[in-house]
C-alpha cells in the first residue's frame, strides 16, 4: 500500500489535505486520530462484518456475464453492488461511518445529498442505530427527487431544502458544513464519497474496500487467480471506484479503467467530466481537480445521471489519473443509456445510470482473448426508471 496510499500529511501527491474553517479543526483532527484505531479494533470489525453480512446482504455476488463476455471476446464479471440493501454501494460507507461516530461518542448525524441516494443510505443507518439525522439537500434536488425525500422522511430523517446558489449538491454541502461548525461537539458529518477534508477520502476508501477484498476471494475461487486484467467502475466522487481498486492499487498487472460522465460531450458545455475538464483547486475541504471558471468559480456540472453530476473528484482519482495508474474515459449520456438498455434486455438486470457509464466504457477498450475484466455495477436502476421511460424504445 505504499506507492498510491495517502501520505502522513493526508495527501495523494499534490491532491488532498484539509482546508476547513478553524472551528472544525478539532473535529477533523479528532476524527483523524481516531478512525484507524477504531477501524482496526475487534469491536468495530465484528460489528461492521456482521452488519454487512446480515443487514446489507454481503458478500455481493460476482456474476459472470455470458452475454458481455461473448460480445467483447473475453471474460467479464459484474460485481453486484446493486443487490445491496438500499440498492447501491453507498450503504457500505454509511454503516462504517455510523459505527465510527458511535465509538467517538457522537449523538447526532448530518449529511449532504444530491440525488438523495446518500441521504437515503444515511437515514437508513440512523434509523438502524436510533440516531437523529438531518440531511441537507438543494431545493432543486428536493423537487426532482421526491421519492428519495419521502423515503428519508419515512426513515425519520429531517430533510432541509437549501435555497442558496443553484440549490444543488454544492450548496447542500456548504450548508452541512455550516451545521457542523455550529455543532462540532456532538455531531458527526457522514460524507458520501471519497471527498472532503482528510481523513474522509481515506476513511471512505477503506470502508468501501470490502468490494475489492471480496473480488479477490471470488476470483480466486472462480478463476484460480485472485486478480483480473481489468477493473472498471464509474466515478462521481469516486467511492465505488476506490473500493473496487483498493486492494489492487500496487498490482500493476491490473489495469484500471474509470468512467466519468461526459454529459452531452466534453466540449458541449454540458458535462461532468472533471478529470478531462478540471483544474486544481479547493472544493469541499480538499485540494483536487474541479470544474471551474478562470477566476475560480465552480461551474455547474451536467450529467443525465444524478450520482455523477459532481464538479469535483476524489483526490485519490485525480492522483491516480495524473500518475497514469488509472485510465479515465468520458462516457456520454447516450452511450450510457444504450449500455443500460443492452444489459437490461440481454441479462435481465436494470442498472443504475451511473453504473451504465462503466458498462459503456467496455466499448472503448480493446481486449485480448483470455482477458478477465471485473466491472462494478454500483447500483440498481429503480431510481432511474423515469429517465429510462423517456427514452424512445
Ligand atoms: C452515488 C452513486 C455513484 C457515484 O458515487 P461514487 O462515490 O463515485 O461511487 C455511482 N453509482 C451509484 C449507483 C450511486 O448511487
What CATH number is given to the structural domain containing 40?
3.40.50.1100
Is the Cα dihedral 44, 49, 54, 60 positive or negative? positive
- Judge whether residue 36 has pLDDT over 60: yes
Please give the pLDDT value at position 59.
98
Rounded average pLDDT over 40-47 = 98
203 lines ligand 1 (CB under 6 A): no
Q: Please name the residue whose Cα sits nearest to atom 10 of ligand 1.
A: 354
Please give the pLDDT value at position 168.
85
If one counts the domains in the chain, the total is 2
60 lines ligand 1 (CB under 6 A): no
**Cis peptide leading into 128, omega within 30 of 0?**
no
Residue percentage of the chain with pLDDT more than 90: 91
376 lines ligand 1 (CB under 6 A): no
Rounded average pLDDT over 213-219 = 98
Residue of 88, 113, 116, 240 to mutate, ligand 1, most atoms within 8 A of C-beta: 240
261 lines ligand 1 (CB under 6 A): no
- Judge whether residue 392 has pLDDT over 80: no
Task: Give 22 Cα–ligand 1 centroid separation in angstroms.
Answer: 30
Do 80 and 96 fall within a single domain? no
All three cell numbers of 383:
431510481
Please tell me the distance from the alpha carbon of residue 170 to that of residue 136, in angstroms, as a whole number.
10
Do 105 and 239 fall within a single domain? no
Which range has the worst mean pLDDT, 101-115, 145-159, 234-248, 301-315? 301-315
Whether 13 is covered by a domain: the verdict is: no
285 lines ligand 1 (CB under 6 A): no
Rounded average pLDDT over 283-307 = 92
What's the whole-model pTM score? 0.97
Rounded average pLDDT over 229-236 = 98
Which range has the worst mean pLDDT, 36-50, 297-311, 323-337? 297-311
Would you name the residues annotated as active-site residues? 90, 112, 378
Cβ contacts of 232 within 8 Å, gap of 6 or more: 257, 258, 259, 358, 359, 361, 362, 373, 374, 375, 376
Domain termination residue (choose one: 204, 226, 252): 204
Using one digit for the tens of pLDDT, what is the confidence trace for 333-354? 999 999 999 999 999 999 999 9
Do 283 and 340 fall within a single domain? yes
Do 64 and 94 fall within a single domain? no
Using one digit for the tens of pLDDT, what is the confidence trace for 355-384? 999 999 999 999 999 999 999 999 999 999
Do 215 and 302 fall within a single domain? yes
Domain termination residue (choose one: 170, 187, 204): 204
Which range has the worst mean pLDDT, 63-67, 302-306, 340-344? 302-306
Task: Give 256 Cα–ligand 1 centroid separation in angstroms.
Answer: 17
Q: Please name the residue whose Cα sits nearest to atom 2 of ligand 1.
A: 307
CA-angle at 69, arms to 67 and 72, nearest 5°: 110
Please give the pLDDT value at position 393.
66
Confidence of residue 167 (pLDDT cuts 50, 70, 90): confident
352 lines ligand 1 (CB under 6 A): yes
Q: Quick check: helix, strand or coil at residue 364?
A: helix
Rounded average pLDDT over 210-220 = 98
Whether 15 is covered by a domain: the verdict is: no
- Which ligand 1 atom minimizes the distance to the CA of 379? 13
Please tell me the distance from the alpha carbon of residue 167 to that of residue 188, in angstroms, as a whole number.
23
| Domain containing residue 236 | 57-88+209-389
- Judge whether residue 76 has pLDDT over 90: yes
315 lines ligand 1 (CB under 6 A): no
Task: Give 164 Cα–ligand 1 centroid separation in angstroms.
Answer: 24
Residue of 307, 317, 387 to mutate, ligand 1, most atoms within 8 A of C-beta: 307
Please give the pLDDT value at position 182.
95
Rounded average pLDDT over 306-335 = 95
Domain termination residue (choose one: 138, 171, 204): 204
Please give the pLDDT value at position 2.
67
Amino acid at each position: 500500500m505504499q506507492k498510491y496510499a495517502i501520505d502522513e500529511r493526508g495527501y495523494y501527491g499534490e491532491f488532498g489535505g484539509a482546508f476547513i474553517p478553524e472551528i472544525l479543526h478539532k473535529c477533523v483532527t479528532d476524527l483523524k486520530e481516531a478512525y484507524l484505531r477504531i477501524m482496526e479494533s475487534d469491536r468495530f470489525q465484528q460489528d461492521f462484518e456482521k452488519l454487512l453480512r446480515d443487514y446489507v446482504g454481503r458478500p455481493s455476488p460476482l456474476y459472470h456475464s455470458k452475454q458481455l463476455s461473448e460480445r467483447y471476446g473475453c471474460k467479464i464479471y459484474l460485481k453486484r453492488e446493486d443487490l445491496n440493501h438500499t440498492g447501491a454501494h453507498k450503504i457500505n460507507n454509511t454503516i462504517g461511518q455510523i459505527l465510527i461516530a458511535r465509538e467517538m461518542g457522537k449523538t447526532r448525524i448530518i449529511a449532504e445529498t444530491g440525488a438523495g441516494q446518500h441521504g437515503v443510505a444515511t437515514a437508513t443507518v440512523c434509523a438502524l442505530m436510533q440516531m437523529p439525522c438531518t440531511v441537507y439537500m438543494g431545493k432543486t434536488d428536493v423537487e426532482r427527487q421526491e421519492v428519495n425525500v419521502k423515503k428519508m422522511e419515512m426513515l425519520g430523517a429531517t430533510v432541509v431544502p437549501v435555497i442558496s446558489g443553484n440549490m444543488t449538491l454544492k450548496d447542500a454541502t456548504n450548508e452541512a458544513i455550516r451545521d457542523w461548525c455550529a455543532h462540532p461537539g456532538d455531531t458527526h458529518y457522514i460524507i458520501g464519497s471519497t471527498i472532503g477534508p482528510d481523513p474522509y477520502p481515506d476513511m471512505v476508501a477503506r470502508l468501501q474496500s470490502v468490494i475489492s477484498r471480496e473480488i479477490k476471494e471470488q476470483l480466486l475461487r472462480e478463476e484460480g487467480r485472485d486478480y483480473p486484467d481489468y477493473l472498471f467502475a464509474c466515478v462521481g466522487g469516486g467511492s465505488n471506484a476506490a473500493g473496487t481498486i483498493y486492494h489492487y492499487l500496487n498490482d500493476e498487472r491490473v489495469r484500471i479503467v474509470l468512467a466519468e460522465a461526459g454529459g452531452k460531450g466534453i466540449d458541449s458545455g454540458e458535462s461532468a467530466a472533471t478529470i478531462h475538464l478540471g483544474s486544481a483547486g479547493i472544493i469541499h475541504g480538499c485540494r483536487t481537480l474541479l470544474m471551474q471558471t478562470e477566476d475560480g468559480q465552480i461551474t455547474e456540472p451536467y450529467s443525465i445521471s444524478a450520482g455523477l453530476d459532481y464538479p469535483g473528484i476524489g483526490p485519490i482519482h485525480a492522483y491516480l489519473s495524473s500518475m497514469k495508474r488509472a485510465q479515465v474515459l468520458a462516457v456520454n449520456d447516450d452511450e450510457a443509456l444504450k449500455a443500460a438498455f443492452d444489459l437490461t434486455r440481454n441479462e435481465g438486470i436494470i442498472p443504475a445510470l451511473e453504473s451504465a457509464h462503466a458498462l459503456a466504457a467496455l466499448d472503448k477498450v480493446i481486449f485480448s482473448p483470455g482477458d478477465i475484466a471485473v466491472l462494478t455495477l454500483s447500483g440498481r436502476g429503480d431510481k432511474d426508471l423515469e429517465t429510462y421511460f423517456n427514452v424512445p424504445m
